[in-house]
Structure formats: C-alpha cells, structure tokens
Structure 1
C-alpha cells in the first residue's frame, strides 16, 4: 500500500492518476520553433535541386526525377526539428549542411557538391516550403 505524508494510505486510483499526469507532462516537450526563411527563391531552388542531382540520392517532392533512395526523403523537410540528426533545423544550419556536410558530420555519405552561397540559399528556401 502507498502512504501519504500523514501516514494514511493513498487510494491506488489517485496514485495512478498522478503518475499518468506526471508522465504526460514529461512527454509534452515542445519541438523547436519552425524554421524561418526570409531569403532565397524557392522556385529557383527546385531547379537547382534538379541541376545539382540531389534527386539521385533523395526523394524530393515537386522536383522531377528526384526519387533517390540513398539519402533520406526530404518530404516535409520544413516541419523537421533537426538536420542530419545533428543541427537544429533553421536556414543557416541547412545552408551550412548543403555547402559543407563534412564539417557537420565527418564521414557522412552526403557529398560536397560545390554549392555556392546563393544557390544554397535558394535550395534552403525551397526545402522549407515542404511542410
């Protein structure tokens, strides 16, 4: 039997309800805020994703022939919390990942494609439309 501070038995139902409430509160850790992109041209980003061949490894909604199965699908990318399981999902971190993935995760299969800053900004803008 479970006892309270006054030495009286606690009803099992009350203990169970309290335990559920505590566990529910722990499970409600809010996700990071959604990423914001104020720069870049999403339409151009979609074309660049095709031009750089990202679809050879990734499935990318809205990009013709982007149905690769090597890397993770980029569906709903704008709603994700992390990039490569390493970085909080925001525009600056995604630009960094696209331009120099090895600096984020040494040994990753993601290749350095030589994406310049302007192209990376546009690719980021497109990926964040995928919610």
Structure 2
C-alpha cells in the first residue's frame, strides 16, 4: 500500500461549530462523531477530525483545499454573504481580493478557531495530482 494521509486532528474552540462552519462552507457532511471528535470526510478519503480543546492551547495552523471552480465560487459567495474577512494572500495584505495564481483562483480566510484556511482551484506550480 502506498502512504496516504488518513486523518488529521484540528484543535477547535468548539468542535461542532468548526465542523459545521467547514461543512456548510464547502457543501460537505459530518461523517462521524466518536469520543471528542467530529469527523468531516473529504472526497479523497481523508477525514478532518475536529476536537474541542481550551482556546489557550490552540496553535493556529494552515489548511489548504483544492476545490473545483464551481465549489470555489459557491464557497466564495458564502464567505462574502456572511461577512467573513478574506484575503488574496497568506500575509493578509490584500483584503477583499482573491488571487489568480497558476491560472486558477485562490482565497484565504480564518475559521472560527483562527486557523488559516485556503481554497485553491489549481495546485501550486501546476503540480500534477495523482
């Protein structure tokens, strides 16, 4: 078997709030609840397992998601409609803009626990996907 990422745990102030934010934004569903985790399954079989921990123990992380053009447009519409702050760049110097890197579209925003989320429609450098 080749090496594959199976799941990752995302620390959250409120696991339900974070999971629902993510599923609603991207049109996904909660896959399972087990112990302290609420899992959201991605199309490649990886799950994001949201866990509630004390806010002072959350270290903001970066999560980038490759989405289709239609998925990007739907999520971007929700970001704007909900007044979620967003940027074209990871350093938050280009507010209220998207980027067109590598001929696609990209946007950065924060989730309810201040993790930096990124949506892109084309992999960086056009790297091939397997």
Structure-1-length-normalised TM-score: 0.29
Structure having the higher helix fraction is 1
Structure having the higher strand fraction is 2
Whichever of the two has the greater Rg, that structure is 1
Structure-2-length-normalised TM-score: 0.29
